[in-house]
């Protein structure tokens, strides 16, 4: 039998669909006011549902919304550890993780984003190296850039099974994302620490790699933008996602662009800036012809599900796969084994799978496969 701890950050990911850049510092209250609903419990539920080795696991779970409420719906052996108040914080994650380690946990499973990963890293780093246990990180945050995360909730279940079956462990990075800077349209990511994870690389997401800023890369982006703008239809709404390559398109149009948000462009003008899901759905009702424009994250290739959760499953379905345009600098594309999606809707992920053309230069494309974890 393995003893596994389960911790869910119940507010992680809530800011994504409503256009916020995270839930740190009480931002979840604003997310709730904007109509956001919990994300992490459903992501954790999907992981638990796919674990095959249930009979070989005794669970330690955080109380209430941080774990016990969810696991009670499964036929699993578990013990509730610690206590929490009505509002959960990062301190709850750190404290309960330490209690689970004291209770003999062999593995910690947590659902959250990069902030939750930092909290777990803090709890483990207080221990001597020989006492640190591995983790399985279920991606559930607005920002999920750290390499310690599984590719998807289903992949997280595979990592749990691999660990129970005796897989070794490897170190993976945890990034420190400055949410204040992120909300100010700047991505400030630094190495925060390392977590041990089961050594099953095919289920782990590669770490985010910063976009290059060399003259050749910038010229490549300008070429992509020039080609894209030449082909734009003035009667089509373009939903421009985050990223420097997409921003180059706005620059070519001499339009402002939220680097880390979604902007809507129609007939050469910005008709809505930094839009959330609700605003996008309203635009889709007004504009019958529309396209989504995205660029893959460097290093891991995600086009949906990491940093652009304003593009919810409902938004993507309404726009349609055939109206998704992918652009990316050629060097970045060469370094990727494929593109990835993790929308939170398994059926939609399957629909998005297969081959898609990526614009990589002036009137040049590259066909790449969309991989489904």
Decide: helix, strand or coil at residue 5: strand
pLDDT value at position 126?
A: 81
Q: Which pLDDT tens digit goes with each residue over 96-142?
A: 999 999 999 999 999 999 999 999 999 998 888 767 899 999 999 88
- 21 HSE (CA, 13 A, CB side): 19
pLDDT value at position 20?
A: 57
pLDDT value at position 215?
A: 73
Low-confidence ranges of the chain (pLDDT < 50): none
pLDDT value at position 6?
A: 98
pLDDT value at position 285?
A: 97
173 closest CA partner among 200, 149, 156, 202: 149
Burial class of residue 366 (count of CB atoms within 10 Å of its CB; 0-12, 13-18, 19+)? middle
- Give 298's contacts (C-beta < 8 A, 6+ positions apart): 208, 209, 210, 211, 332, 335
pLDDT value at position 102?
A: 94
Strands (E), the chain: 2-8, 57-61, 78-80, 107-112, 135-139, 169-177, 189-198, 237-240, 263-266, 269-272, 290-294, 302-304, 324-327, 339-341, 354-361, 364-372
In the chain, where are the structural domains located?
2-203, 215-372
Torsion angles phi and psi, residue 338, rounded to 5: 170, 180
Q: Which two tokens stand for residue 136?
A: 């399985």
- Over its C-alpha atoms, the chain yields an Rg (Å, rounded) of 21
pLDDT value at position 16?
A: 63
Instruction: Classify domain 2-203 at the CATH topology level.
Output: Rossmann fold (3.40.50)
Token pair 């100010």 in the structure block, residue: 184
DSSP state of 59: E
d(CA 136, CA 198): 7
Regarding beta strands 324-327 and 290-294, do their DSSP bridges make them parallel or antiparallel, or are they unpaired?
Answer: parallel
The CA-CA-CA angle for residues 119, 36, 327, to 5°, reads: 80
The model carries a pTM of 0.86
């Amino acid at each position: 039998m393995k003893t596994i701890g389960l911790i869910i950050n119940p507010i992680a990911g809530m800011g994504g669909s409503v256009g916020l850049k995270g839930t740190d510092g009480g931002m979840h209250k604003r997310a709730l006011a904007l109509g956001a609903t919990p994300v992490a419990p459903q992501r954790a539920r999907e992981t638990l549902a796919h674990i095959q080795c249930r009979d070989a696991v005794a669970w330690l779970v955080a109380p209430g919304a941080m774990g016990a409420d969810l696991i009670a719906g499964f036929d699993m052996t578990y013990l509730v550890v610690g206590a929490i108040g009505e509002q959960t914080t990062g301190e709850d994650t750190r404290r309960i993780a330490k209690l689970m380690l004291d209770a003999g946990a062999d593995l910690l499973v947590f659902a959250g984003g990069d902030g939750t990963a930092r909290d777990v890293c803090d709890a483990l780093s207080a221990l001597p190296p020989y006492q640190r246990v591995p983790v399985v990180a279920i991606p559930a945050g607005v920002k999920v850039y750290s390499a310690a995360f599984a590719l998807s909730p289903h992949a997280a279940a595979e990592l749990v099974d691999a660990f129970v079956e005796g897989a070794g462990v490897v170190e993976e990075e945890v990034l420190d994302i400055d949410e204040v800077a992120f909300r100010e349209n700047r991505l400030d990511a630094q190495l925060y620490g390392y977590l041990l994870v089961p050594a099953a690389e095919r289920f782990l997401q590669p770490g985010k790699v910063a976009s290059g800023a060399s003259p050749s890369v910038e010229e490549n982006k300008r070429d992509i933008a020039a080609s894209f703008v030449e082909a734009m239809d003035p009667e089509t709404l373009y939903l421009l996602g985050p990223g420097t390559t997409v921003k180059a398109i706005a620059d070519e149009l001499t339009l402002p662009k939220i680097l880390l948000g979604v902007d809507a462009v129609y007939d050469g003008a910005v008709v809505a800036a930094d839009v959330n899901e609700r605003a996008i759905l309203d635009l889709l009702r007004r504009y019958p012809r529309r396209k989504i424009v995205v660029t893959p994250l460097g290093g891991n290739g995600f086009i949906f599900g990491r940093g652009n959760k304003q593009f919810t499953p409902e938004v993507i379905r309404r726009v349609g796969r055939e109206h998704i345009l992918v652009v990316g600098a050629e060097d970045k594309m060469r370094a990727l084994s494929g593109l990835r999606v993790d929308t939170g809707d398994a059926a939609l992920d399957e629909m998005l799978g297969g081959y898609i053309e990526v614009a990589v230069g002036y009137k040049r494309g590259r066909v790449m496969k969309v991989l489904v974890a």
